[in-house]
C-alpha cells in the first residue's frame, strides 16, 4: 500500500447571531477547521483534522508534507512522523537516531503534522481491519467524558453546571473567569454555586485558560480546596513551567495543563519541573497519535496521569477518544 495523495480541505461554518456564545475569550462567531485526507493506491482514504489557520495548514500540507509522503507506505507511521518532523534532514536523523529538525518544530507546522499523522493512523488501521484504538494497543473499550462549560455569572453557575449532572455527566468543568469578570471572591461564589448544583458525587474541575499570575493562582487554589476539585487547569501562562511548579507545590488541588504544548520535548520540560499532575496533550497540536503515545509513556514513568485535550471538529473529538482508549494512564 502506497500513499498517492495528501489533501487538506479548509472549512468555515458561520454561527448565526442567536447561537453565538460569549465567553471570557470573546464571542465565537464561526467555527473553523481543516480536514486532512490521505489517499492510497488500495482505494483506502484516511481522515484527520488540524487546529490552526485552515489556509495556512492547507499550504503546509500541500507544499511541505505531501511531497514527502507520496509514494510511502502509511503502515510505517513512526518513520513518516520523523520524516515530517525533520524535513530535509530526515535521513541523517534516522541514521543517527536523534531528531534533527530544521524548521517547524512548533506552531502551525506541527499542527499540520498532527493532522496528517491522525489520517495516516486512520488509513493504516483500515488496512489492518481494526479501529484506531485497537491498532494503537487498546486498554479499554469506552472512556468517561465530562461536561465542559461554566461561564455563567454568580449563582447562575448552580443551574448551568447542575444541568450537566442532570444529563448524566459524572464530571464537569467550569471556567474561572465568568461572563461577569474575575475576582477571587467572585470565582469562589461561582464554584460554591456549581458544587451545590452538581452535588457531592460529581467531580468538579476548574479552568483558568492561563489567565492568572502565580500569586493569584495560589490564593485562589487555597481558597477553593474545601470544594474538592478534581483539577485546576492552566492556572497561569503555560509558558511558565517554574511558575506552574510553584502553584502545584502550594495546593492540594491537582494541576492540569498541556493543551498548548508541542511534542514530547515541550512535555519533557514540563515534567522535569514537576509542574503538572495531569498532562493534557491535544492530538491536533502535540503531534498526533504517534507523538502522544510517546508523551503518555513519559508521563507514566513519572506517575503523571493523562487527559487528552479535545476541542474542535468532530474528527478531532473522535481521534481524542481513540487516543484515550489506548492510553493506560488516561484519567
Cβ–Cβ under 8 Å, residues 277 and 256 = yes
Given the residues 241, 309, 322, 331, the one annotated as active site = 309
Does the annotation count 309 as an active-site position? yes
Strands 30-40 and 45-50, bridge-based pairing: antiparallel
Three cell numbers, residue 259: 493543551
Q: How far apart are CA 273 and CA 261, in angstroms?
A: 14
Question: What are the residue ranges of helices labelled H in the chain?
Answer: 54-60, 66-69, 77-86, 90-96, 107-128, 132-136, 156-166, 184-198, 214-224, 241-249, 263-272, 288-301, 314-325
State residue 157 phi and psi, 5-degree precision. -60, -25
**H/E element, 232:** strand 229-233
**114: closest CA among 175, 34, 44, 211?**
34
Residue 305: CB partners within 8 Å, gap ≥ 6?
277, 278, 279, 299, 329, 330, 331
Please state, in angstroms and as integers, the Cα–Cα distance from residue 294 to each residue in 258, 286, 291, 298, 323, following that order. Answer: 14, 11, 5, 6, 12
Cβ–Cβ under 8 Å, residues 322 and 131 = yes
Count how many residues are written for the chain.
Answer: 331
Q: Which residues are catalytic?
A: 309
Amino acid at each position: 500500500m502506497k500513499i498517492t495523495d495528501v489533501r487538506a480541505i479548509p472549512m468555515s461554518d458561520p454561527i448565526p447571531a442567536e447561537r453565538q456564545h460569549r465567553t471570557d475569550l470573546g464571542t465565537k462567531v464561526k467555527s473553523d477547521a481543516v480536514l486532512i485526507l490521505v489517499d492510497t493506491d488500495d482505494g483506502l482514504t484516511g481522515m484527520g483534522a488540524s487546529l490552526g489557520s485552515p489556509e495556512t495548514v492547507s499550504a503546509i500540507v500541500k507544499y511541505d508534507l505531501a511531497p514527502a509522503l507520496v509514494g510511502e507506505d502509511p503502515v510505517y507511521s513512526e518513520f513518516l512522523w520523523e520524516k515530517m518532523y525533520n524535513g530535509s534532514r530526515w535521513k541523517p536523523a534516522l541514521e543517527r537516531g536523534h531528531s534533527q529538525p530544521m524548521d517547524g518544530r512548533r506552531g502551525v507546522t506541527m499542527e499540520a503534522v498532527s493532522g496528517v499523522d491522525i489520517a495516516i493512523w486512520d488509513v493504516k488501521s483500515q488496512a489492518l481491519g481494526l479501529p484506531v484504538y485497537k491498532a494503537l494497543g487498546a486498554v479499554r473499550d469506552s472512556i468517561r467524558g465530562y461536561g465542559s462549560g461554566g461561564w455563567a455569572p454568580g449563582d447562575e453557575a448552580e443551574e448551568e453546571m447542575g444541568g450537566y449532572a442532570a444529563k448524566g455527566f459524572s464530571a464537569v468543568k467550569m471556567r474561572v473567569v465568568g461572563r461577569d469578570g474575575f475576582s477571587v471572591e467572585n470565582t469562589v461564589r461561582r464554584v460554591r454555586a456549581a458544587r451545590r448544583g452538581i452535588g457531592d458525587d460529581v467531580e468538579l474541575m476548574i479552568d483558568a485558560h492561563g489567565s492568572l499570575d502565580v500569586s493569584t493562582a495560589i490564593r485562589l487554589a487555597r481558597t477553593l480546596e474545601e470544594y474538592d476539585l478534581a483539577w485546576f487547569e492552566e492556572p497561569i501562562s503555560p509558558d511558565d513551567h517554574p511558575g506552574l511548579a510553584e502553584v502545584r507545590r502550594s495546593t492540594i488541588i491537582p494541576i492540569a495543563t498541556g493543551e498548548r504544548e508541542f511534542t514530547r520535548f515541550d512535555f519533557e520540560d514540563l515534567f522535569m519541573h514537576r509542574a503538572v499532575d495531569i498532562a493534557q496533550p491535544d492530538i491536533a497540536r502535540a503531534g498526533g497519535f504517534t507523538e502522544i503515545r510517546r508523551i503518555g509513556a513519559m508521563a507514566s514513568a513519572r506517575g503523571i496521569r493523562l487527559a487528552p485535550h479535545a476541542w474542535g471538529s468532530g474528527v478531532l473529538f473522535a481521534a481524542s477518544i481513540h487516543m484515550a482508549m489506548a492510553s493506560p494512564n488516561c484519567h
